[in-house]
Amino acid sequence: MVAHVLRLRAALLFGALRGDRREVARTVTALVLLVAAAVVACLAVLSLDDASHDVARVVIVLGGAAVTLGFALTPLVAGTEDPLDPRRFAVFGLEPRPLAWTIALAGLLSAPLLAVIAISVCATITWSAQGAPVVVGILGALLAVVTCALFARVCMALTAMYLRERRSRELSGLFILAIAVVVVPAAVFFASLDWHSTVPTQLSEAITVLGFTPIGAAWALPALAASGSPLVWLADLVALATVALLAVVWQGLVTRMLTTTERPSSVRERAGLGWFAVAPGTPGGAIAARSLVYWLRDRRYIVNAAVIPVAAAIAMVPPLVAGAPWSLVVLIPVPIVALFFGWLPHNDVAYDSTAIWMHVASGTRGRSDRLGRLVPVVLIAVPLLAVLIPVTIAAHGRWALLPGLTGVAVSLFLCGLGLSSVSSVLAPYAVSRPGDSPFQQPQHASSGVASQAIVLLGAVALSAAPVWWFWLALTQDIRYGSLALWGGIGIGVVVLVVGVMLGSALFRRSGARLMEFAESA
C-alpha cells in the first residue's frame, strides 16, 4: 500500500504539469518562484557559517519558525485542497492507522517540503561550522521537516472538515491582510538592522523564547547545542512533544474522517453572497458588508481613498524645497494619512443616496449603523498605517520614535472616526450620485465646507496633546514617546466611543430628516 500511494503521489505531482495551459503556466510559475526562494534561503543560511552565533541564531530560528507557521496557516488561509484526503481512500476499507502514516509519508513528496528539506540541510551545515555536533544538527533538521509536514496534514484535514463550506475569497483576503499587517512591519524592522553589529538585546531575548515554542524548538536545537546551553534538553523535549502531539491529532483526524459521513454542502446556497457570507448575521454585520461592497466597487469611494496617499506624498514637497531636513519631512505623511482616513466617513450617509431608507424603515439601531459604516475604513486604513509607520521610522532612522508616531496616528484616526460618526448624521451634504463622476460637484445650497472643516480641525485639536508629546520625544526626551503612545490611544478610544454613542442617538431621532435629505440631494 505504501508503494502504491507513493506512486500515486508522484503521478499527481507530474500530472500538475499537464492539462490546461493556463493552469500549467500558473503551476510552473509558482514552482519557479518556490525554487528561487529556496535557493536564496539556502545561500543566506550557508553564508552564516562565519557570522556571529547570535546573528546565525536569530536568522535561522526566526526564519525556520516563520516557515513552520506558514505550513500551518497556508491551508487555513488559502483553503488548499488535499490531493491525499483520507476520505478518498474510504472505499478501499483500509485501517486508519496505517493509512494515516502512509499519507503522511507520501506528503513528504511535495515541492514546499522538499524546499524545507534543502534549507534544513543547509542549516545543519552552518551549525556544524558553528560548533554544533552533527548528530544534533541532523536531529533538529529531521524534527523541523516532520513538524512542517504534520502541521500541513493536520491543518488541511481541519480545513476539509470544518472550513471548506465557509471558504470565500473575501475571508481568504481578510486572513492574508491580517498576516501582512504583522509580516510587513516585522520585515521592515529586520531589514533596517545592522547585522554586522551586535544583535539588539530585546530581539535576542525574543528569539530565545521563540526557541522553546512548538514552531521554533526544532530549529533552535542545534543553536543551543553550538552555544553549550544547558537548556538544550528542554528544546529537544518541546520539539519531540510537538511531533508526538501532532501525530496523535493526525491519527485521530484520519480515524474521524474515515468513520463519519460528510455533511451535505451548502456552498450553492451561499454562492455569490460575497461579504454578506463573511460578516456576522446581525444588522451591524449586514451594514458593514454593504459598506464594504460600496467601498470596493463604487468609484466615488475608491477615488477618495486613493487620493489620500498621493496628497500625503505631495505634502512633503514644500518642506523639502524650503530646505527642511529629510529626517523631519519623512514624518509628515503618517499623520496626514491617519487624519484623512478618519475624516473620510464624515459624509457617509450622503453616499447611500436613497438606499438609506432600508436602515430607517427596518428600525436599525443607531449603533449598528454607526459601527457598520466604520468597518471598511478600518480594514483599509489599519493595514496601510501598519505598513507606513515602520517604513517611515526606518527612513527616519530612530526606532525609539515608533511608539510616539503610532500614538499620534491612532489618536488622529480614531478622533476623526468619532467626529465623523456624528457629522454624517448631523450635517450631511450633497455629493455626486451613484454612477456619476466622483469629481462632479452637485448643485445644492449646502456645500458642506463647515462640516468638513469641523471634523478635520476637531480631530487635530483633540490630538494636540499626543502631537505635542511626540514633538518633545523628537526634540528633547525620548521618554515622551511612551506618553504619546498611551495618551493617543486613550484619547482616540474615548472620542470614538463618545462619537459613536452620540451619532447613534442622533441617527435614531433623525430618520425622517435623513430620508428627506436623500430624496432632495
330's enclosing H/E stretch is none
Q: What is the pLDDT of residue 10?
A: 62
Give, in degrees to the nearest 5, the angle at Cα 197 between 192 and 200.
65
Give, in degrees to the nearest 5, the angle at Cα 463 between 462 and 467.
150
pLDDT at residue 266 greater than cutoff 50: no
Average pLDDT over residues 299-323: 83
Average pLDDT over residues 423-441: 70
Q: Which residue has the higher pLDDT, 362 or 266?
A: 362
Q: Express each pLDDT in 351-383 by its tens digit.
A: 776 667 777 777 778 788 888 888 889 888 888
Q: Express each pLDDT in 468-482 by its tens digit.
A: 999 998 888 888 888
Q: Express each pLDDT in 106-152 by its tens digit.
A: 777 778 888 899 999 999 999 888 888 889 889 999 999 999 989 98
Query: In this structure, how many other beta carbons lie within 10 angstroms of the beta carbon of residue 314?
Result: 12
Q: How big, in percent rounded to 5, are the helix, strand and coil portions of the chain?
A: 80, 0, 20
pLDDT band at 255 (very low <50, low <70, confident <90, very high): confident
Cα(84)–Cα(474) distance, rounded to whole angstroms? 57
CB 11 within 8 A of CB 88: no
Residue type, 82: D
pLDDT band at 498 (very low <50, low <70, confident <90, very high): very high
Cα(73)–Cα(68) distance, rounded to whole angstroms? 9
CB 421 within 8 A of CB 503: yes
- Per the confidence metrics, is the pTM higher than 0.85? no
